[in-house]
C-alpha cells in the first residue's frame, strides 16, 4: 500500500482522517496521499483535490436543491481517482456520497477501506448489503457498532474513538486562550452554512442574557471570516474565534452546541451543555419518518439515556435554551450528575491511541 486516495466530506472527517494519516506516515514515510478534505489533511501532506467547504449539504431538501452539483462531484471524483490509480481508497464517514463511490470502486477493482461507519443502526439499515458487497475493511468508532455488525455477520474493527486522540494531541500542543476572570459560555453552531444560518441567531440571542459571562463562538474553519460579519455587528459582546474550538472548550464553563461530533467533543472536555438541532421543515419531517433513533446527540446515543438536554426544531428557542442554561449554571446537583455520566462515557470510548492502532492494523492488513 503506497498510494491512498482519501474521501472526506465534513470538518469532523478532516480531523479524524488527518490524525490517522499522521500516524500512518510515522509508520511508513513512503506513503503518498491524495483526496478530498480540508486544511488539517493538507497539513499532513495530502494533496487536496477538492476542499470540504464545497461539499457540505445538510438535509434532504438541501441535497435536492444541489443535486446537479452533487452529480457533477461524483463525475469529478471518479476521474480523479482513476487518474491517481490508488492502491487503496479510504472513505471517511460521509455515507451518502462515499457508499456510491465504494460501489463504483469495487467494480474497478480498487480495494475499499471505510473509516467511521455509516450509521446504519439509525437509518437505512438496508445499506448493510452495499457495505458487505463493497467494503473490504471497516473501522467503527462507537462502542455499540461492533456488536451491531456481528449480528449482521460482517466483521469490523473497533479500537476506540479518535476524539480521545484529538484531545490528547491538543493537550500536547495547546495554547490556551486568555481566560481572564470571567466564566465562559461557548457557542458551537456547527460547520455547515445551512445549520449555522438556522440556529446561530437564536443561540446568541439566548446567551446574550448572561452579561456576567464571556460569550465565545467557535467559527467553522471551512467558512470565510466574512460569513460571520453580520453576526459580529448584531452581537458586539460576543467573541468569534477560528480554529480554536479545543482552546475554547478547555476554558469553557458551559456550552450551547449543535448536534453532531461537537456534542461528544464538549463532553470529552467535560463541559456541561445543551444540544440544539434545527433543519428545514421538510428535511426534519422526512428524517423523523426514516430515522430510527431515540436521541440525536452522540452523548445520549452512546449512553442510551438522556444525559444532555436536546432541543429539536421548534424547541430551539431563546427561552428554552435559557431555561436549560439556568439549570446548568444554578442547579449544582443537576450539573454534577451530567459530569459524572461524562466520566462513565469516557470509559466506554477507550484510551488514547485509536488512530495509531488503526494505522498499524491498516498497514498490516495490506502488507499481507
User: 26-40, 113-127, 214-228, 273-287 — which one is most confidently predicted on average?
Assistant: 26-40
pTM above 0.95, yes or no: no
Using the predicted structure, report yes or no on whether residue 68 has a pLDDT greater than 80.
no
pLDDT on residue 172: 59
Task: Answer with the residue of higher pLDDT: 178 or 98.
Answer: 98
CA distance 169 to 353: 10
Q: Which of 44-48, 118-122, 181-185 has the lowest mean pLDDT?
A: 118-122
**238 — pLDDT class (breaks 50, 70, 90):** very high
CA distance 284 to 179: 38
CATH number of 3-159+353-367: 3.40.50.2000
pLDDT on residue 325: 98
pLDDT on residue 332: 97
Look at residues 271, 225, 230 and name the one whose alpha carbon lies nearest to residue 247: 271
pLDDT on residue 349: 92
pLDDT digits (tens, 9 = 90+) for 251-303: 999 999 998 889 999 999 999 999 998 876 666 565 665 566 788 899 999 99
Average pLDDT over residues 95-110: 95
Using the predicted structure, report yes or no on whether residue 353 has a pLDDT greater than 90.
yes
Using the predicted structure, report yes or no on whether residue 136 has a pLDDT greater than 70.
yes
CA distance 108 to 224: 37
Average pLDDT over residues 100-114: 96
Average pLDDT over residues 71-83: 93
**64 — pLDDT class (breaks 50, 70, 90):** low
CA distance 224 to 221: 7
Look at residues 354, 279, 361 and name the one whose alpha carbon lies nearest to residue 312: 279
Average pLDDT over residues 28-33: 96
Using the predicted structure, report yes or no on whether residue 222 has a pLDDT greater than 90.
no
pLDDT on residue 350: 85
Q: What architecture is the 172-349 domain classified under in CATH?
A: 3-Layer(aba) Sandwich (3.40)
pLDDT on residue 193: 85
Percent of the chain clearing pLDDT 70 (strictly above): 90
pLDDT on residue 214: 95
pLDDT on residue 11: 84
pLDDT on residue 67: 67
Cβ proximity of 291 and 283 under 8 Å: no
CA distance 177 to 247: 6
Instruction: Locate CATH 3.40.50.2000 in the chain.
Output: 3-159+353-367, 172-349
pLDDT on residue 165: 87
Count CA atoms closer than 13 A to 269's CA, side-chain side.
Answer: 24
All three cell numbers of 249, joined, read 472548550
Using the predicted structure, report yes or no on whether residue 102 has a pLDDT greater than 70.
yes
pLDDT on residue 293: 76
Average pLDDT over residues 109-130: 89
pLDDT on residue 280: 62
Summary mean pLDDT of the chain: 90
All three cell numbers of 157, joined, read 474493527
Look-up: residue for cell 490508488? 86
Cα 207 → chain centroid: 24
Average pLDDT over residues 230-242: 95
- Residue 183 phi, psi dihedral angles, 5° rounding: -75, 160
Q: Which residues contact 312 (CB under 8 A, 6 or more apart)?
A: 276, 277, 278, 284, 296
Cβ proximity of 31 and 2 under 8 Å: yes
pLDDT on residue 285: 61
All three cell numbers of 287, joined, read 428524517
Amino acid at each position: 500500500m503506497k498510494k491512498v486516495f482519501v474521501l472526506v466530506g465534513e470538518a469532523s472527517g478532516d480531523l479524524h482522517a488527518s490524525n490517522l494519516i499522521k500516524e500512518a506516515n510515522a509508520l511508513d514515510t513512503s506513503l503518498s496521499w491524495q483526496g478530498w478534505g480540508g486544511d488539517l489533511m493538507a497539513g499532513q501532506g495530502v494533496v487536496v483535490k477538492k476542499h470540504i467547504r464545497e461539499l457540505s449539504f445538510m438535509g434532504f431538501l438541501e441535497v435536492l436543491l444541489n443535486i446537479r452539483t452533487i452529480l457533477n462531484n461524483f463525475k469529478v471524483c471518479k476521474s480523479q481517482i482513476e487518474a491517481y490509480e490508488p492502491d487503496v481508497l479510504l472513505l471517511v464517514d460521509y455515507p451518502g456520497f462515499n457508499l456510491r463511490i465504494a460501489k463504483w470502486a469495487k467494480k474497478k477493482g480498487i480495494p475499499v477501506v471505510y473509516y467511521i461507519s455509516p450509521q446504519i443502526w439509525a437509518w437505512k439499515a438496508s445499506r448493510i448489503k452495499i457495505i458487505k458487497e463493497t467494503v473490504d475493511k471497516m473501522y467503527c468508532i462507537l462502542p455499540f457498532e461492533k456488536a451491531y455488525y456481528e449480528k449482521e455477520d460482517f466483521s469490523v474493527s473497533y479500537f476506540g474513538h479518535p476524539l480521545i486522540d484529538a484531545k490528547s494531541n491538543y493537550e500536547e500542543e495547546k495554547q490556551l486562550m486568555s481566560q481572564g476572570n470571567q466564566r465562559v459560555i461557548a457557542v458551537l453552531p456547527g460547520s455547515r452554512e445551512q445549520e449555522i444560518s438556522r440556529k446561530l441567531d437564536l443561540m446568541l440571542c439566548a446567551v446574550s442574557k448572561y452579561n456576567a459571562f464571556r460569550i465565545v463562538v467557535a467559527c467553522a474553519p471551512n467558512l470565510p471570516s466574512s460569513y460571520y460579519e453580520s453576526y459580529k455587528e448584531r452581537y458586539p459582546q460576543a467573541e468569534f474565534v477560528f480554529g480554536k474550538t479545543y482552546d475554547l472548550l478547555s476554558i469553557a464553563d458551559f456550552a450551547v452546541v449543535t448536534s453532531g461530533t461537537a456534542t461528544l467533543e464538549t463532553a470529552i472536555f467535560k463541559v456541561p451543555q445543551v444540544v440544539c438541532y434545527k433543519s428545514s421543515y421538510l428535511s426534519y419531517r422526512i428524517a423523523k419518518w426514516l430515522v430510527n433513533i431515540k436521541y440525536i446527540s452522540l452523548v445520549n446515543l452512546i449512553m442510551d439515556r438522556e444525559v444532555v438536554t436536546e432541543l429539536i426544531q421548534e424547541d430551539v428557542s431563546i427561552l428554552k435554551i435559557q431555561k436549560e442554561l439556568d439549570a446548568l449554571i444554578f442547579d449544582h446537583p443537576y450539573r454534577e450528575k451530567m459530569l459524572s455520566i461524562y466520566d462513565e462515557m469516557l470509559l466506554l470510548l477507550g484510551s488514547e491511541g485509536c488512530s495509531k492502532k488503526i494505522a498499524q492494523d491498516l498497514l498490516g492488513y495490506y502488507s499481507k
